[in-house]
A and B are shown apart, each in its own frame.
Chain A
């Protein structure tokens, strides 16, 4: 339901970052979305297309990497990947495990750009 707000935030961040490369075209925007981020990918893509239409980001592809949930199991003393978010139990020993280590990611990892100009960026 809030994918439109998220799409707008992504556009803002990417526009800001690509401003360091004047004249460039953003080809791809790579996201990391945790299994607990509550983002519906189809809905985000739909909102993305709507949001970038008519802007310099039009045509940029969203590439999504899904990040599974990892919890620390105190019983096994190890980080384990959950099979499903329906149960926060260690798949190895069956004990409840509350200590969340990964899975809430809602991140822009990187962007791929075609740089038409000589670099004017202050970034290395």
Chain B
């Protein structure tokens, strides 16, 4: 009997990473900008996405959404009111979306062709821990934080905030009654992800949406050029 060390040197999530790389190539080829929206439950991802889809539609852009939840299709029904194609992914207890779930739901999505979309939004399961490890092939990962959550959220969940490409603060219309310390929140986000683009928004009043949509347009134009 011999004892030996066998080198593997492979990612634990290699399968997901390979699938995500395939998805990334597929999105790029189709010319669709894909964003992965991540936050705690209750931050207002769905409301923010509703407003985004509605305003994109008004601007003549073609957008669709995949929305992840443990159970129910409530969010998909809410989002579908925007007129955009929406498909629900139920994870049945799994705390995050993975590349395989995205791949399965892109296939056979009636009436939706990736190459006819300008934007595809993926609303992840409300969770600030697990989604950070699972690449969905997205171009932009968006971390959302509401004014009701506490300014130290980025410090409590550094992995997720550090992996984000953009941050969105939601519900700024109620910032004052919540005693939200804006400067501290911005400082904490930058402390974890220096230089990140931050949008301060209200899905209710529409504040900050113009800047957000402007950013989407810019990133999409850049993504198509590259």
> Which one, B11-19, B68-76, B112-120, B138-146, is touching chain A?
B11-19
Give Cα distance in the complex from A108 to B94, angstroms. 23
Query: In the assembled complex, which residues on chain B have CB atoms less than 8 Å from the CB atom of A107?
Result: 9-12
Q: Tally A residues with Cβ within 8 Å of B.
A: 40
Q: Is the Cβ of A85 less than 8 Å from the Cβ of B8? A: no
Query: In the assembled complex, which residues on chain B have CB atoms less than 8 Å from the CB atom of A96?
Result: 190-191, 194-195
Q: Is the Cβ of B12 less than 8 Å from the Cβ of A31? A: yes
User: Is A2 an interface position by the 8 A CB rule?
Assistant: yes
Q: Decide if the interface of chain B is mainly helix, strand, loop or mixed.
A: mixed
Q: Is the Cβ of A86 less than 8 Å from the Cβ of B190? A: no
Q: Decide if the interface of chain A is mainly helix, strand, loop or mixed.
A: mixed
Contact of A1 among B4, B11, B127, B155 (CB under 8 A): B127
User: Is B159 an interface position by the 8 A CB rule?
Assistant: yes
24 pairs, CB–CB < 8 Å, chain A vs chain B: A9-B15, A13-B8, A13-B12, A17-B6, A31-B12, A36-B158, A37-B133, A37-B159, A38-B130, A85-B159, A85-B162, A87-B191, A88-B162, A96-B195, A98-B195, A106-B12, A106-B13, A108-B12, A109-B9, A110-B9, A111-B8, A112-B5, A114-B1, A115-B4
